Each structure stands twice: as C-alpha cells, then as structure tokens.
Amino acid sequence: MTNPTPPPRMRPVRPLVSRDRDQEHRAATPLELFFDLCFVVAVAQAGIELVHAVAEGHAGEGVAEYAMVFFAVWWAWMNFTWFASAYDNDDALYRVMTLVQIAGVLILAAGVSRAFGEHDWTFVYVGYLVMRVALASQWLRAAHDASGAERTTAQRYAGGVLVCQVGWSALLFAPEGALPWVFLVMAVAEMSVPPLAERGFSTAWHARHIAERYGLFTIIVLGETIAAATVAVKSGAEENDALDELLPIAGGGLLIVFAAWWIYFVVPAHARLLSNRQGFLWGYGHYPIFASAAAIGAGIEVAVEHAIGEAHVSATAAAAAVTVPAALYLLLVWGLHSRYFKVGIAQQLVLPCAALGVLLSTFAGHWAVLTAGLVMAAAVATGVTLTARMVAREASAGRDGARTA
C-alpha cells in the first residue's frame, strides 16, 4: 500500500516563503527563545572580560574590545531576528540551520577571553563564520523560493553576508594596532548590507514580533546583569565579610536594573516600527542599548571588587563603571523611542535629567551605586506621576465636554 503524501505543513522541508506582515498573534517561538538564551552566554563572557580589564585599570582598552566582541554577537543575533520575522517556516531544515548558528555563537563565546587577553580573534572569527554562512544559506534558500524583486533582495543579502565575512578575515592577519580600524571598517560594511539589499523591496518583518524579540533580549541581558552582580556580592561577602560595603552596591544595583526594565517597557515600542526607515534606525540603535545594559552588570562587579579591595582603580573609577553605562542606557532608550511618547516638557526632561543625576552620583563615594539607583527609581516614580496627572486631566476634560454637549 502506498503511503499518502503528507500535507504541506507536515513535511520536513517546505518552501521558505515570506510571511504575512500583518499576521495576528505573531509571537516569539521556542526556538527563538532558545537562540536568545544561548547568545547571552557570549554576552556573559564579554562582560567577565570587561570586568577584568576595568578592575586592572585598563578601562579604555577593555571597553574597545568589549564593543568589538559585543558587536559581533549583537549583529549575528539581529540579522537572524529580522530574517526569522519575515521567513520563519519552522520546518526541519530551518531548525537545523538555526541550531548551527547557535553552535557558532558558542564557539565565539569560547574565544572571547583569548580575544581580550591575547588579541587572538581566531575562535571569534570561526564562530562568526559558522553563524554567517548558516544565515547566508537561509537567504539563498529564500531566494530559491521567491521571484522578482524579492529574489533579488534575498540574493543581495546572501552575497553581502559572504563578502563581509571574507573581509573579516583581516582580523587574523592585521597587526594589533590596526585591529580597531579593521573592525570599524567591517562594522560599517556589515550595517550597509540591509539598506542596500532592500532597495526596491522590503522584507515582510512583523513590527510587534520584532518589538517582542528585542524586548525579550533586553530582559535576558538585564537578567544576566542581575546574575553577575549577585554572584559578585555573594563571593565578596563570603570571602571578605564586607556586608556593610556591599549592601549599598547590591541595593543600588537592583534599583538600577528594575528601573531599566520599567523605563524600557513603559512605552509601546512597536509603534515606532512603521517602515524600513524607522526599522533600520530602531534596530541598529539597540546595539548601544544592549551593550550598556550588559555593561551595568560588569560595572557592579567592578564596584564589588573595589569594595573588597581587589580592584586596582580609584573609588570614582569603580563608581563610573556603573554610572556611565546606566546614564548612557537612559539617554539611548529616551532617544530611540521613549521621547516619541512623552507629552510636554516635563515628561520629556525626566530621562535626560535622570541621566545627568546618575552621572553626578559617580562622586558620591561609598554610596555612588545606591545613589544612582535611587535617582533612576525617582525617574520612574516621576514618570508615573506625570502620566497619571495627564490621564486625570484628559478624563476631566472629557467629562466637562460631555456636560457641555
């Protein structure tokens, strides 16, 4: 007896065709959540190395290397996220290629310490190569099942990814002093691929899905920050019995992370994703947001090491390791999407003024981290109060209008 042909949705390999941009109830898949979780491993490794660099008094070099490693992680994550939003058909081949990309980021994570300590980018490059070749193959598959302008766009993406990957090989051969310049040139080249590829055709990414994916990665990064800070405080308390020094750091760190979460999610981010014009700016703008959010955790670890006498930096430098990324996070979230939902001068000034207050808390000595946390908590409370008053005024005006009518 001949086995019946399975329906299309049951087949292990199905056409990789564009999804509906207006699909209702579009949500992150378990595979995407697993993908994010594995990427945070690389983020954690970058944060650990940043802590070591700053604590040893090499902040400038450490921040530069952190920015380079984080770019590689973020860019691979972002490219997959936008591709999946438009083309995820969840068949067996798609799942396998996504798992290959996960394997790539784990290889990259294994090479982070060598990139920081020895300026050896071999493992980072190999991991990135695995991720990018897998992504290019997905684009070629999409091109095979598309036609016209859509096929051209998919081919441009695949070609751009592969050409840039060839360019990244310069990291393996360039002299140490030239590495930052190689990275800068290649980062610009990478970010040029999507706008060039989508000339004449826009891939069908889903605004709410993209906003959810970015929000989930923000949560995971902030969660990693809490985990790193908790381990640092626990170790410091057990080994040095310095609770009086550590409790203000722990309390302030929690306030900072809680406020960072509240401030990011208080506005409907997807409302800014109306077209590619907003999409590119919004998507790219999250690189420093994610990087600064993760750096807050590294800064808290530096503050802990200073409190127990293990960091070779001043008290001001240790505090700045927390306050600078926290202030940067506030300004970036405000500039990227919060300011578009603020009404009136008072609401617009809350986050910029909070960022200034966080920076000034750098000079609060032993209480710097706690002061920064209180400033951010006050910013949240102020924003909630101003919004409540605005809603009350609008409701009152509505009732008055109804009476007049």
**CATH class of domain segment(s) 208-400:** mainly alpha
Find out whether 65 and 115 touch, Cβ atoms under 8 Å: yes
Task: Please tell me the predicted confidence (pLDDT) of residue 161.
Answer: 95
**CATH class of domain segment(s) 26-205:** mainly alpha
Task: Please tell me the predicted confidence (pLDDT) of residue 1.
Answer: 42
Task: Please tell me the predicted confidence (pLDDT) of residue 348.
Answer: 87
CA atoms of 350 and 371, how far apart (whole Å): 17
Task: Please tell me the predicted confidence (pLDDT) of residue 281.
Answer: 83
- Provide, for the chain, the percentages of residues in helix, strand and coil under a 3-state DSSP scheme, each rounded to the nearest 5: 80, 0, 20
Q: Give the tokens for residue 186.
A: 């290649």
Task: Please tell me the predicted confidence (pLDDT) of residue 31.
Answer: 92
Q: Give the tokens for residue 246.
A: 């550590």
* Residue ranges of the chain whose pLDDT lies below 50: 1-2
**Positive or negative CA dihedral for 23, 28, 31, 35?**
positive
Q: How far is CA 252 from CA 134, 242, 248, 322, in A?
A: 42, 16, 6, 10
Q: Give the tokens for residue 392.
A: 């009350």
At residue 337, the 3 state secondary structure works out as: coil
DSSP state of 112: H
Comparing CA positions, the residue from 262, 287, 268, 383 lying closest to residue 337 is 268
Task: Please tell me the predicted confidence (pLDDT) of residue 227.
Answer: 81
Task: Please tell me the predicted confidence (pLDDT) of residue 266.
Answer: 85
Task: Please tell me the predicted confidence (pLDDT) of residue 4.
Answer: 55
**Residue 68 identity:** M
- The pTM assigned to this predicted structure is 0.88
**Helical H runs in 111-176?**
112-118, 122-144, 148-168
Task: Please tell me the predicted confidence (pLDDT) of residue 230.
Answer: 79
Task: Please tell me the predicted confidence (pLDDT) of residue 134.
Answer: 94
Find out whether 42 and 68 touch, Cβ atoms under 8 Å: no
Domain ranges in the chain? 26-205, 208-400
CA atoms of 41 and 238, how far apart (whole Å): 25
